[in-house]
């Protein structure tokens, strides 16, 4: 059945639907702009800062994508966001009796009022909250406390997820710059991410360098002199041109993150990659969008830009069509981006923390062991083996097919534009 064209509306929509409409509109605008110049980065340097609330907690997944797009669109200088109530609370503090009293400076003078500028509109974000109820006593506990329980203790609780929509404002939509300039300047001067410069001028990323050299990702990463960057499903490995072939280190790492996202989607991991994702198909194009946005998110987290890959640029029109036709496309895609970015980010953070603590010669054996949980098993011929089926009767072999023909690579990219010529 042919899908009807989807036009975002707000009348009669739920809060979630209105939020998804906003997300879709922003993505449509961004991809339309990229069509005219696909060599632009996904997020401009000004917006390539992970959005945070006033407490310093990062927004993640689809929320971070949307807030960075809003920051870029509106030219906001800060990456801090807050709800209306949180902004109002900046005008008060707790008195000795625990009651709210007007905030004052060191001399006891009432601080200037902080508020939202007239005419400013909020941006919706979605947050899943969890209610944890003991099935016997009906006692409720916080989700953070639930996560600290053992598996046996968790079995006593029922967990009910609930998707909620919150409306937030960027601090540039308030008068904070005029009312509390020292606080505004503090947020403006926040670190631009973790940037590493080598003596040759190429940006270094020690955690990723260690992943390559010390085999610390869930599959091998093989820098190889040539023009191909891809994830091979059949061999479960990433092939990437050597760093020296790229214009700069930033280009090398962002392209590598793209392929690492594809690897995260294998059947034994996040299970995104399917046999039907043949080159040029709609599913293949969607997986390219997931990998592009994942790489852009993780790159932004570490202070790098992510440009659109040349072969991914060919899917810009396909992405636009999907966004127009299917209101759920943006939700399912950005949920996959969230999972993929988290999958990579957790492993990068683990390696980075070990490097900071113990240096380059640190013992990474526990990280390698954990990665094996996500590594497909192979037989002697390099073919995947289902562990539960190893004891089954042998199946007659099919006539041998040339490797290049049988390999389903949902992410093979012939990437050239940012290499040295």
pLDDT recorded at residue 3: 40
- 87 and 226 housed in the same domain: no
**Exposure string over 381-405, b if 16+ CB within 10 A, otherwise e:** eeeeeeeeeeeeeeeeeeeeeeeee
Residue 119 region by backbone torsions, left for phi larger than 0, else alpha for psi between -120 and 50, else beta: left
- 361 and 408 housed in the same domain: yes
- The answer to whether position 10 is within a domain reads no
- The answer to whether position 347 is within a domain reads yes
pLDDT recorded at residue 359: 94
Contact between 237 and 409 (Cβ < 8 Å):
no
Instruction: Decide: residue 416, CB within 10 A, 0-12 exposed, 13-18 middle, 19+ buried.
Output: middle
- 110 and 39 housed in the same domain: yes
- The answer to whether position 302 is within a domain reads yes
- 183 and 282 housed in the same domain: no
pLDDT recorded at residue 47: 55
- The answer to whether position 79 is within a domain reads yes
- 182 and 158 housed in the same domain: no
Residue spans of the chain under pLDDT 50: 1-11, 192-196, 199, 379-382, 386-421
- The answer to whether position 193 is within a domain reads no
- The answer to whether position 286 is within a domain reads yes
- The answer to whether position 377 is within a domain reads yes
The residue out of 154, 188, 222 marking a domain boundary is 188
SS3 call for 335: helix
What is the spatial distance between Cα 37 and Cα 57, in angstroms, rounded to a whole number?
A: 33
What is the spatial distance between Cα 189 and Cα 77, in angstroms, rounded to a whole number?
A: 10
- 234 and 132 housed in the same domain: no
pLDDT recorded at residue 193: 45
pLDDT recorded at residue 394: 32
Write out the residue range of the structural domain in which residue 43 sits. 15-119+174-188
Residues 47, 50, 53, 56, CA torsion sign: negative
- 244 and 350 housed in the same domain: yes
- The answer to whether position 9 is within a domain reads no
Residues contacting 146, CB < 8 A, separation 6+: 130, 132, 154, 157, 159
User: How crowded is residue 57: how many other Cβ atoms within 10 Å of its Cβ?
Assistant: 9
Q: Which of 309, 294, 334 is nearest to 240 (CA)?
A: 309
pLDDT recorded at residue 210: 95
- 89 and 150 housed in the same domain: no
- 144 and 21 housed in the same domain: no
Contact between 233 and 271 (Cβ < 8 Å):
no
- 148 and 80 housed in the same domain: no
Q: Which of 245, 208, 210, 206 is nearest to 226 (CA)?
A: 245
pTM: 0.66
- 179 and 137 housed in the same domain: no
Instruction: Decide: residue 125, CB within 10 A, 0-12 exposed, 13-18 middle, 19+ buried.
Output: buried
Q: What is the tally of structural domains in the chain?
A: 3
Contact between 70 and 123 (Cβ < 8 Å):
yes
- 42 and 182 housed in the same domain: yes
């Amino acid at each position: 059945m042919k899908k009807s064209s989807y036009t975002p509306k707000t009348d009669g929509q739920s809060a979630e639907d209105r939020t998804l409409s906003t997300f879709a509109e922003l993505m449509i605008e961004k991809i339309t702009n990229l069509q005219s110049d696909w060599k632009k980065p996904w997020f401009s340097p000004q917006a390539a800062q992970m959005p945070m609330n006033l407490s310093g907690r990062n927004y993640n997944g689809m929320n971070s994508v949307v807030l960075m797009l809003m920051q870029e669109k509106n030219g906001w200088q800060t990456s801090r966001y807050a709800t209306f109530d949180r902004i109002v609370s900046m005008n008060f503090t707790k008195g000795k009796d625990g009651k709210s009293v007007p905030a004052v400076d060191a001399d006891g003078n009432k601080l200037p009022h902080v508020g939202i500028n007239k005419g400013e509109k909020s941006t919706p974000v979605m947050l899943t909250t969890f209610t944890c109820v003991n099935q016997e006593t009906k006692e409720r506990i916080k989700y953070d406390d639930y996560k600290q329980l053992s598996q046996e203790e968790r079995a006593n609780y029922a967990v009910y997820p609930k998707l909620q929509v919150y409306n937030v404002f960027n601090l540039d939509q308030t008068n904070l710059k005029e009312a509390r300039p020292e606080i505004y300047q503090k947020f403006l001067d926040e670190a631009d991410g973790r940037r590493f410069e080598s003596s040759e001028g190429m940006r270094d990323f020690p955690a990723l360098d260690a992943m390559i050299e010390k085999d610390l990702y869930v599959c091998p990463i093989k820098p190889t002199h040539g023009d191909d960057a891809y994830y091979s499903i059949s061999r479960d490995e990433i092939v990437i041109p050597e760093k020296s072939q790229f214009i700069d280190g930033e280009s090398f790492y962002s392209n590598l993150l793209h392929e690492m996202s594809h690897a995260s989607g294998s059947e034994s991991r996040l299970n995104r990659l399917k046999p039907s994702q043949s080159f040029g198909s709609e599913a293949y194009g969607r997986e390219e969008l997931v990998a592009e946005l994942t790489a852009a998110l993780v790159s932004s987290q570490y202070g790098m830009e992510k440009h659109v890959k040349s072969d991914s640029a060919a899917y810009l029109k396909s992405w636009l069509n999907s966004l127009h036709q299917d209101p759920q496309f943006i939700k399912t895609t950005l949920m996959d981006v969230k999972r993929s970015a988290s999958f990579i980010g957790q492993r990068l953070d683990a390696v980075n923390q070990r490097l900071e603590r113990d240096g380059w010669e640190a013992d990474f054996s526990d990280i390698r062991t954990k990665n094996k949980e996500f590594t497909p098993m192979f037989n002697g011929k390099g073919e995947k083996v289902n562990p539960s089926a190893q004891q089954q009767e042998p199946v007659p072999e099919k006539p041998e097919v040339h490797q290049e023909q049988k390999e389903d690579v949902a992410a093979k990219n012939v990437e050239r534009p940012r290499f040295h010529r």
